[in-house]
Amino acid sequence: MPFESLLGELVTLTRDAREHLTYLHELGVEGIEISHAVPSMTEQSSSLPAPVSPEVATLFGELKPAPVTLSKSSESFEDIWADIGNCVRCPLYERRTHIVHTEGNRRARLMFIGEAPGADEDVQARPFVGRAGQLLTKIIESIGFKREDVLIGNVNRCRPPGNRAPTPEEASTCKPFLLREIAAVGPEVIVVLGNTATHNLLGVRQGITRLRGQFQDYHGVKVMPTFHPAYLLRDPSKKKETWEDLKKVRDYLETTARRD
User: What value does the mean pLDDT take over residues 188-212?
Assistant: 95
Q: Do 3 and 126 fall into the same domain?
A: no
pLDDT at position 15 is 64
Query: CA angle, corner 33, sides to 28 and 36, nearest 5?
Result: 145
Assess if residue 260 is contained within a domain.
Answer: no
β-strand partners of 190: 111, 223
Q: Do 130 and 227 fall into the same domain?
A: yes
Q: Do 194 and 85 fall into the same domain?
A: yes
CATH number at residue 246: 3.40.470.10
Assess if residue 111 is contained within a domain.
Answer: yes
Q: Do 218 and 123 fall into the same domain?
A: yes
pLDDT at position 42 is 41
Q: Do 122 and 188 fall into the same domain?
A: yes
Distance of CA 153 to the CA centre of its chain: 12
**Structural domain containing residue 153:** 77-254
Q: Do 146 and 212 fall into the same domain?
A: yes
How much is the pTM?
Answer: 0.74
Picking from 68, 89, 112, the residue at the C-terminal end of a domain is 68
pLDDT at position 168 is 95
Q: What is the DSSP letter of 154?
A: E
Residue 67 has a CB neighbour count (10 Å cut-off) of: 14
Residues 6+ apart with CB under 8 A from 172: 200
Picking from 68, 87, 107, the residue at the C-terminal end of a domain is 68
Assess if residue 127 is contained within a domain.
Answer: yes
Q: Do 11 and 104 fall into the same domain?
A: no
Q: Do 81 and 181 fall into the same domain?
A: yes
Q: Do 56 and 104 fall into the same domain?
A: no
Does residue 41 or residue 108 have the better pLDDT?
108
pLDDT at position 83 is 98
Assess if residue 225 is contained within a domain.
Answer: yes
Does residue 26 or residue 95 have the better pLDDT?
95
Total of domains in the chain: 2
Picking from 51, 68, 85, the residue at the C-terminal end of a domain is 68
% of the chain exceeding 90 in pLDDT: 69
What tens digit of pLDDT does each residue of 44-54 get? 433 334 444 44
User: What value does the mean pLDDT take over residues 248-253?
Assistant: 98
Q: Do 42 and 120 fall into the same domain?
A: no
Q: Do 246 and 163 fall into the same domain?
A: yes
Query: CA angle, corner 110, sides to 107 and 111, nearest 5?
Result: 95
Assess if residue 259 is contained within a domain.
Answer: no
User: What value does the mean pLDDT take over residues 185-197?
Assistant: 97
**Given the DSSP bridges, would you call strands 221-226 and 216-218 parallel, antiparallel or unpaired?**
antiparallel
- The DSSP H or E segment spanning 78 is helix 77-84
Q: Do 115 and 1 fall into the same domain?
A: no
- Give me the sheet containing 189-193, strands edge to edge: 103-104, 151-154, 110-114, 189-193, 221-226, 216-218
What tens digit of pLDDT does each residue of 4-31 get? 555 566 666 666 666 555 544 544 445 5
pLDDT at position 36 is 43
User: What value does the mean pLDDT take over residues 61-76?
Assistant: 70
Lowest-confidence pick of 75-79, 118-122, 241-245, 253-257: 253-257
